[in-house]
Structures are given as structure tokens and as C-alpha cells.
Amino acid sequence: MIHVYLMPGMAANPSIFEYLKLPDTQFTLHPLSWKIPEANDTLEVYAKKMLEEIKEDNPVLIGVSFGGVIVQEMAKYITTKKTIIISSVKSKNELPKRMRFSRALGLYRIAPVSLVRNIDTLANYAIGDRLKHKVALYQKYLSITNPIYLNWALQQMLCWEQTEYNEDLVHIHGTDDPVFPYKYIDKCIPIKGGTHAMIITKCKWFNNNLPKIIGN
């Protein structure tokens, strides 16, 4: 049996993996949840806290977005069968210019909490079925609103120092990702039309292809 641990994206809960279905005769899926960090936790410290949830040897680690950064950090301390990142980055060199700009100016100190808190406020004033549907999806999947976590996570994402990555790392990325634009991404498996939410919207592709990717 291959044990697959799933790390969601920033502020997201494990329900983003609800459509991921791998053959249960081969794979056991373990969705992980974010722990609330101490404000001064480094990525190294946080990765080691998350490793407490890994109960098997030689697991597969899959991380989405900021979760992809976390699984890369976790993989520095254990042996994995495979480490896979989705809609994420392998180094700070793949961050878009606007994120580098935010880092340089320290804008991460003022942005995140109000943004996520406003989702609930927006829901009260949403007009039109399409907007209401989009807000409902945000509320369903982006439920981690603790301000300590949000401030910490955004700072760690923008200030990540990694420049080199393991050549065995598998990177799957959408060509239409607006958060981490495809043009900045080096060496990945491209998913045509995939957005930052493709773990949900392209679930059929993942269900069909992840078993082969893990097995290779």
C-alpha cells in the first residue's frame, strides 16, 4: 500500500481534495490540515511539526500552492517515495514580479487578514448567482481565517529563500494559473487551461494520471 499525504494550499482546508480518487487497492490518502503556527516559527520548525502527522515510511507527499512549499520543506527531513507539487513553485525564482515587489516593500504585513475576513462580509452583499456561487466556494474551501496563521503563511511564502530544488521533485502546473503564472515556471508537467484551483477543476486529469506519476 502506498500512503499519500495531501497538503492543501494557503488558508485552504482538506476538502480541496474531495474529488481526488485514486485506486484504494494501491493508495491510501491522508489529507492534512494546517496547524496554527507560533508567530516566530520558521519553515523548518513548521515542517517538522507537520512531520508528526506522517506515520508511514517512504510516503508520497503532495502539496498544493503554499502546501507545495511545505511538502518540499518536509521532504528535506525524511525519505519520500515521491514529492509532488501542484500549482506551486520550486524556488523563489519562480515567484511572479508582484510577489517579489510585495516582499521588497514588506506589503505582506498588511494584506492577508483583511482579504480573507472580507469573504464573509462579501457573502452578505453578493448580488447575482455567479458571484454568490464563487463566494460560496471560497467559504467552503478557504476556511482557515486565523490571523496569526494568515500573517505567518503569507510572510513565509513571499520570503521563502529556496533557490535550488531536488531534481526528483514533480511539479504539475496549469498554463492559466493567475497566482503563479506559468511563464515564470521552469520544468513542470503543464496542464493546458489549468488554473490555480485545478486540483478541483481538473480532478479527472489527476485521477487518471497521478497513479502513473507516483509509480514512475
Residue 171 host element (H or E)? strand 170-174
Domain with 70, as residue range(s), is 2-215
Most confident of 88-102, 133-147, 194-208: 194-208
Please tell me the distance from the alpha carbon of residue 112 to that of residue 150, in angstroms, as a whole number.
6
For the cut 90, the answer to whether the pLDDT of residue 163 exceeds it is yes
Count of domains in the chain? 1
**Three-state secondary structure call for residue 148:** helix
Domain CATH code at residue 171: 3.40.50.1820
Please tell me the distance from the alpha carbon of residue 142 to that of residue 14, in angstroms, as a whole number.
10
pLDDT at 154: 85
For the cut 90, the answer to whether the pLDDT of residue 121 exceeds it is no
How confident is the model over 101-105, as a mean pLDDT?
A: 71
Please tell me the distance from the alpha carbon of residue 37 to that of residue 175, in angstroms, as a whole number.
32
pLDDT at 158: 87
Most confident of 57-61, 99-103, 198-202: 57-61
> pTM score, two decimals?
0.88
